[in-house]
Amino acid sequence: MRRIDLSPERQELLVPLASHPGAFGLIPPPTPLNLNLPLQEVRRAHEALGLLQASVTALPNRYLVTRTFDRREAVRSSQIEGTGSDIDDLLTFEATGNDEGLPPDVLVTFNYVMALEYGLRQVAEHGVKAFTIELIKELHKRLMEGVPHYGDVPGQIRQRQNWIAGIRIYDAKFVPPPPDRVEECLTDLLRVLRTRRQKRISTRSLWLSVLRLCTHSLRPSTPS
């Protein structure tokens, strides 16, 4: 990640990495509370969500739809980490319990589904109080359960520096914060999550998008 590729505002957020002399990590700015986005795009997104909700209402079992979406989300989010399993691989593994003939990383994708469902249950039961660092650690522990050759401690904030793209950190497209700064950044994000006031960002869909972006910028765990 080259300093000259960043805006002046982002350059001010770079910190040197003791583990990699000459390299820098980016400390994300505080979670934004307001956004100015094109209303037309927001309207289109909400129209699509409205159509989906209307379709689901007519079904005898809504779980048939949400279950599929959960698994597609698991596949896509896992692929960000470099997995090769697709939705068919995941459904086959769920149906058979056997990974024979499937990509070796199908277990990671399956674990993502289990972690997602666990997290949703916690939020349904406890509301915004569920958003804690302990929950993040538990989700990560479930995500890495049974995964061989994982290079860090499952269920713990990463202890090593990671980066996105590039064999060397000096060639990376993005370098997140050093390990000793991750927890304070997560604390800021969770504080905003637990804030009940909805004057922050106009729509829930935008708010979720912002939260996802903030989480990915932290990379709180070591990739599998």
76 φ, ψ (degrees, to nearest 5): -70, -40
The pLDDT, as a whole number, for residue 223 is 59
Could you give the CA distance from residue 95 to residue 165 in angstroms, rounded to a whole number? 34
What pLDDT is attached to residue 193?
80
Q: Mention every residue, 6+ apart, whose C-beta is less than 8 A from residue 9.
A: 29
DSSP 164: B
d(CA 216, CA 214): 6
**45-82 tens-digit pLDDT:** 778 888 877 887 877 777 777 788 888 888 888 887 77
Distance, CA of 136 to CA of 80 (rounded, Å): 18
> Rounded mean pLDDT of the chain?
83
Q: Residue ranges per domain, the chain?
A: 59-218
- Which pLDDT score is estimated for 62? 73
Per-residue pLDDT, 221? 72
Question: pLDDT (tens digit, 9 = 90+) per residue, 141-183?
Answer: 998 888 777 777 888 888 889 888 888 999 988 899 999 999 9
Strand residues in 5-157 grouped as ranges (E): 14-16, 24-26
Which of 58-62, 109-113, 190-194 comes out lowest in average pLDDT? 58-62
Query: Does residue 197 surpass a pLDDT of 60?
Result: no
Q: Is the per-residue pLDDT at 198 higher than 60?
A: no
Residue 137 confidence (pLDDT) above 60: yes
pLDDT of residue 190: 87
Owner of token pair 């986005």 = 37
Q: Is the pLDDT of residue 32 over 80?
A: no
pLDDT at 213 over 90: no
DSSP states of 1-18: --GGGS-HHHHTTEEE-T
Is the pLDDT at 202 greater than 70? The verdict is no
Q: What size, in residues, is the chain?
A: 224
